């Protein structure tokens, strides 16, 4: 497409400029820029600029569905709506993020199929959950991917010391709840050199804070700086349906910075499809079992790193996959 007027007109509307809004809407908008006529709106700002499509995310409340349906009918514009978390079913107590779920399922049953021409999501489990509201042929799996220009790092040798980085938000735990950490993992890590990016969990009192959170555009470099000081990155998830619908993003980020990511293992865990068997920790493992698993991962460190780099090659943002959504 060389003629600007022939390009698809898309208005991309994230619902926030935090991680999910950037990864799922804003960054894909940027890689599509040369092949489509893109407008990137402020979060939650829906205006008609003559576009053919809206590309937005997490529409779950009646108060937003109804005005968007009015826009759709008035201007004959189409909608692609993305969901990267199952926020309509029961969520873990430690992972609610203050979200008001009142009336969400009823609103999605009533409005989503009428509003969405296509629905995107991160994996098969969330796709199955979305099939309660829209037919399967409307749902397209789009895994979280990384922007090559932000996440392409040179390979640096790993330190030999058995050190661990945790870079997970407090939505994964509370002061009174281990959340995505198992008791065995907490017991194991409390005798190890652990550093943290963001906020230190109260149940890891010996962990050292390496860096506070930074703006998401600064996050790749800061995450790499923290990760390169450590031998391992830890990315635990608890065994629940909410987590089965989550992305494997932390694993892919670890692939990019070149450090072995120790991940949870349970039926349907999003890490199962991408991770090397020797980097998985079954969720009910004891501290003794985890010690053995980590030692094995350390012995096969280079093999696991090679596997991670192979996985990464299929997870760079590709504008062609997104352009296909709007045809």
| Whether residue 303 is found in the same domain as residue 157 | yes
Q: How far apart, in whole angstroms, are the C-alpha atoms of residue 54 and residue 41?
A: 10
Say what the pLDDT of residue 76 is: 97
**24 & 113 share domain:** yes
pLDDT digits (tens, 9 = 90+) for 94-122: 886 767 788 999 999 999 999 999 999 99
Pairwise CA distance, residues 42 & 174, whole Å: 31
Write down which residue in 94, 120, 142 finishes a domain.
Answer: 142
DSSP 257-276: HT-EEEEEE-TT-TTTTTS-
| CATH number, domain with residue 48 | 3.40.50.2000
The whole-number average pLDDT for the span 257-265 is 98
Q: Show the tokens assigned to 118.
A: 């296509």
- Percentages of the chain per state (helix, strand, coil), in multiples of 5: 40, 20, 45
Residues 44 and 190 in one domain: no
Q: Average pLDDT, stretch 228-252?
A: 97
Among the candidates 84, 115, 142, a domain finishes at 142
Same domain, 252 and 208: yes
Give pLDDT tens digits for 9-45.
999 999 988 889 999 999 999 999 999 999 999 999 9
- pLDDT for position 45: 95
**CB within 8 A of 96, min separation 6: which ones?**
none
Return d(Cα 277, Cα 60) in angstroms, integer: 36
Q: Which of 114, 142, 170 is the last residue of a domain?
A: 142
CB 244 within 8 A of CB 275: no
Total number of domains constituting the chain: 2
- 64 is in which domain, residue-wise? 4-142
Interior/surface letters 138-164, b for 16+ CB within 10 angstroms, e for the rest? bbeebbbbbbeebbeeeeeebeeeebb
Q: What is the mean pLDDT of the chain?
A: 95
* 3-class SS of residue 82: strand
- Please give the model's pTM, rounded to 2 decimal places: 0.94
| Residue among 279, 274, 276 nearest 313 (CA) | 274
Structure tokens at 99: 């979200």
- Burial code (b: 16+ CB inside 10 Å, e: under 16) for 94-113 equals bbeeeeeeeebeebbeebbe
């Amino acid at each position: 497409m060389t003629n600007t007027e022939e390009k698809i007109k898309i208005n991309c509307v994230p619902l926030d400029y935090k991680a999910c809004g950037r990864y799922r809407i804003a960054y894909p908008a940027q890689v599509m820029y040369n092949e489509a006529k893109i407008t990137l709106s402020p979060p939650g700002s829906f205006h008609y600029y003559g576009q053919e499509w809206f590309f937005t995310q997490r529409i779950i409340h009646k108060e937003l569905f109804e005005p968007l349906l009015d826009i759709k009918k008035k201007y004959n514009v189409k909608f692609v709506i993305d969901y990267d978390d199952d926020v309509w079913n029961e969520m873990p107590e430690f992972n609610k993020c203050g979200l008001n779920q009142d009336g969400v399922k009823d609103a999605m049953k009533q409005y989503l199929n009428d509003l969405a021409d296509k629905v995107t999501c991160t994996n098969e489990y969330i796709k199955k959950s979305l099939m309660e509201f829209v037919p399967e042929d409307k749902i397209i799996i789009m895994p979280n991917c990384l922007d090559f220009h932000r996440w392409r790092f040179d390979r640096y040798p790993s330190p030999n010391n058995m050190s661990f980085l945790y870079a997970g938000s407090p939505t994964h735990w509370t002061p009174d709840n281990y959340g995505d950490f198992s008791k065995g993992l907490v017991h194991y890590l409390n005798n190890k050199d652990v550093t943290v990016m963001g906020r230190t969990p109260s149940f890891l009192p010996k962990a050292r804070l390496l860096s506070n959170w930074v703006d998401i555009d600064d996050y790749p470099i800061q995450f790499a700086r923290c990760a390169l000081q450590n031998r391992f990155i830890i990315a635990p998830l608890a065994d629940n349906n909410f987590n089965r619908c989550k992305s494997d993003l932390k694993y892919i980020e670890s692939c990019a910075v070149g450090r072995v990511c120790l991940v949870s293992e349970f039926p349907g865990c999003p890490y199962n499809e991408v991770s090397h068997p020797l980097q998985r920790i079954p969720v009910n493992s004891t501290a003794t079992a985890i010690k053995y698993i980590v030692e094995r991962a350390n012995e096969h460190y280079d093999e696991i790193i090679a596997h991670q780099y192979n996985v990464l090659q299929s997870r760079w943002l590709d504008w062609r996959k997104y352009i296909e959504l709007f045809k």
